[in-house]
């Protein structure tokens, strides 16, 4: 078969979509592989001025053919439909901050990213306009300002909370959201489904192609060329395997899917998985420890736009252990406020408390050697545990938030508090981690697999650590940067 000059992107979720957009912009022939069918039901969302009035969404499924060997209560969710997990998320799009990278570095060489905020800032600027963000125009120490389309500000009643938080070296800001100030009706379960918003319009315009019902199984390595020359996939309609020649590959299948494809791509040069010369692939699996908190208040407070209370400064937290608060907003909160006769104001408030965990090598995703492959795909074994320090951090954060609100005169009382099992946040990362040293990472600073120059991994699996923020914007930013970098090498004939 003649060699193709195209780049194949695996996955139409946020990271895969971002990589595809920037590859296509660079003039590279781009083909996306999507496991789900073209006609998969994606739901519907109605939003007015950034407030979701109603939505219908498909059920979020858990991974099948999976054996838990860590915390038996751990959860692993997946969506086999265009847009992937972006059809389930909140649409929160905070940037990582300089402190997030500095926090990793102070934890030691093992946890140090090979890039910093200054490397990503210009790429955040290029990606954020795709998301039509509503948020603050002024940044804070824990949350840099982004390129917002609609400026939003907190109500005056949050001013005393801001002062109390500053005393504890935290910031209180508006949480930025994709389509956060928009009035929109979209055929997706969220205001921003990566397929609906980014891929589908470009597919219709002929700027890229999408091949549906195609589950990528492995990458074909050429020992003579020292690069990948094809993607092998399973056709969900015919049941047959298909070989697609390519010049390069971008994996955007998520922290589980991308690692699984590389592990299934074992060959004579990489017997333990493509790019896995040092046994790192699949390890350092992590997600966000998550607590859900509902508070009753002694006064009605404004609940829109949604508030974000950042992590404390580095001086007030241990390396890689901190937590931040994302206030709940949307349909249910608006309905309750209207029924109470105070539109936009409530006497109760809820938060997702996102913590962090130090990624550990002994948390992992691996192929299960005891079970046969089905349709060319291996079953998996998974170990994911939250360290005691992570749950203690959540407890301390909950207590501190109550103290902050009471210091502001809000008379806060805990109605409900629960710490969710590992995996519940659905913020998986780390299995193809980024590191300057191949002994400690799978990909380099441009998300290129060590030893495999024409394969990039472009999703949260490359996160060296998991800062206490929603990972989608940063995954998209890394993917855009990686796609553009790969495109330059493809166009100049380096690959």
Average pLDDT score over residue span 419-424: 96
Cross-strand partners of 231: 219, 244
What is each CA distance from 491 to 7, 433, 451, 485, 494, in whole angstroms?
11, 27, 20, 10, 8
Cβ neighbours for 201, distance < 8 A, ≥ 6 positions apart: none
Tell me the pLDDT band of 58, cut-offs 50, 70 and 90: confident
Residues 6+ apart with CB under 8 A from 258: 10, 11, 251, 252, 431, 432, 457, 459, 461
- What's the rounded mean pLDDT across residues 92-114? 97
pLDDT of 258 > 90? The answer is: yes
- Please report which confidence band the pLDDT of residue 341 belongs to, taking 50, 70 and 90 as the band edges: confident
Mean pLDDT, the chain, whole residue set:
94
Across residues 406-414, what is the average pLDDT?
Answer: 97
CATH number of 7-151+175-288+361-377+427-491: 3.50.50.60
Mean pLDDT of 370-388: 96
What is the mean predicted confidence (pLDDT) over 358-373?
96
Mean pLDDT along residues 271-278: 97
Q: Is residue 340 over pLDDT 90? A: no
Predicted TM-score (pTM) of the model is 0.96
Does the pLDDT at position 123 exceed 70? yes
Lowest mean pLDDT among 78-87, 129-138, 382-391: 78-87
Band (pLDDT 50/70/90 cuts) for residue 1 is very low
- How far apart (Å, rounded) are the C-alpha atoms in residues 92 and 485? 27
CB atoms within 10 A of CB 431: 33
Tell me the average pLDDT across 237-262: 97
Give pLDDT tens digits for 128-163: 999 999 999 999 999 999 999 999 999 999 999 999
* Residue-level pLDDT at 313: 95
- Range in 75-79, 163-167, 232-236, 403-407 the model is least confident about: 75-79
Residue 3: the pLDDT is: 57
- Which carries the bigger pLDDT value, residue 285 or residue 190? 285
The per-residue pLDDT for range 11-32, each reduced to its tens digit, is: 999 999 999 999 999 999 999 9
What tokens appear for 332 in the block?
Answer: 């249910």
């Amino acid at each position: 078969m003649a060699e193709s000059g195209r780049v194949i992107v695996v996955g139409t979720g946020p990271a895969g979509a971002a990589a595809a957009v920037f590859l296509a912009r660079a003039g590279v022939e781009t083909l996306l592989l999507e496991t789900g069918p073209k006609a998969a039901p994606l739901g519907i969302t109605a939003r007015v001025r950034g407030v979701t009035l109603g939505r219908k969404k498909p059920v979020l499924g858990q991974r099948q053919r999976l054996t838990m060997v860590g915390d038996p209560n751990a959860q692993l969710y997946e969506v086999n439909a265009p847009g992937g997990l972006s059809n389930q998320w909140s649409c929160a799009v905070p940037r990582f901050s300089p402190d997030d990278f500095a926090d990793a570095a102070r934890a030691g060489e093992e946890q140090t990213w090979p890039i910093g905020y200054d490397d990503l800032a210009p790429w955040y600027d290029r990606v954020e306009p795709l998301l039509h963000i509503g948020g603050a125009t002024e940044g804070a120490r824990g949350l840099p300002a982004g390129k917002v389309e609609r400026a939003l500000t907190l109500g005056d009643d949050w001013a005393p909370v801001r002062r109390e938080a500053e005393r504890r070296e935290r910031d209180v800001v508006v949480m930025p959201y994709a389509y956060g100030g928009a009035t929109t009706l979209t055929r997706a379960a969220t205001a921003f489904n990566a397929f609906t918003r980014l891929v589908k319009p470009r597919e219709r315009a002929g700027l890229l192609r999408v091949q549906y019902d195609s589950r990528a199984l492995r990458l074909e390595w050429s020992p003579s060329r020292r690069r990948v020359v094809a993607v092998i996939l399973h056709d969900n309609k015919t049941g047959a395997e298909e070989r697609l020649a390519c010049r390069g590959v971008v994996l955007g299948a998520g922290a589980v899917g991308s690692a699984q494809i590389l592990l299934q791509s074992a060959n004579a040069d990489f017997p333990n998985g493509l790019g896995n010369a040092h046994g790192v692939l699949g390890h350092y699996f992590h997600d966000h420890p998550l607590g859900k908190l509902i508070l009753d208040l002694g006064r009605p407070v404004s609940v829109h736009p949604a508030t974000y209370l950042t992590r404390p400064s580095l001086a007030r937290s241990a390396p890689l252990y901190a937590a931040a608060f994302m206030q709940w907003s949307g349909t249910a909160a608006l309905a309750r406020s209207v029924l109470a006769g105070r539109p936009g104001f409530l006497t109760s408030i809820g938060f997702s408390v996102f913590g962090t965990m130090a990624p550990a090598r002994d948390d992992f995703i691996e192929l299960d050697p005891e079970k046969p492959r089905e349709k060319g795909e291996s079953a998996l074994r998974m170990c994911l545990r939250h360290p005691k320090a992570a749950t203690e951090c959540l407890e301390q954060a909950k207590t501190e938030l109550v103290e902050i609100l009471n210091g502001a005169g809000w008379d806060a009382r805990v109605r409900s508090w629960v710490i969710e099992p590992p995996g519940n946040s659905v913020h998986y990362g780390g299995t193809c981690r980024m590191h300057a040293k191949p002994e400690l990472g799978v990909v380099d600073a441009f998300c290129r697999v060590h030893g495999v120059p024409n394969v990039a991994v472009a999703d949260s699996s490359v996160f060296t650590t998991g800062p206490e923020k929603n990972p989608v914007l940063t995954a998209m930013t890394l993917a855009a940067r990686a796609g553009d970098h790969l495109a330059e090498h493809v166009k100049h004939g380096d690959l």
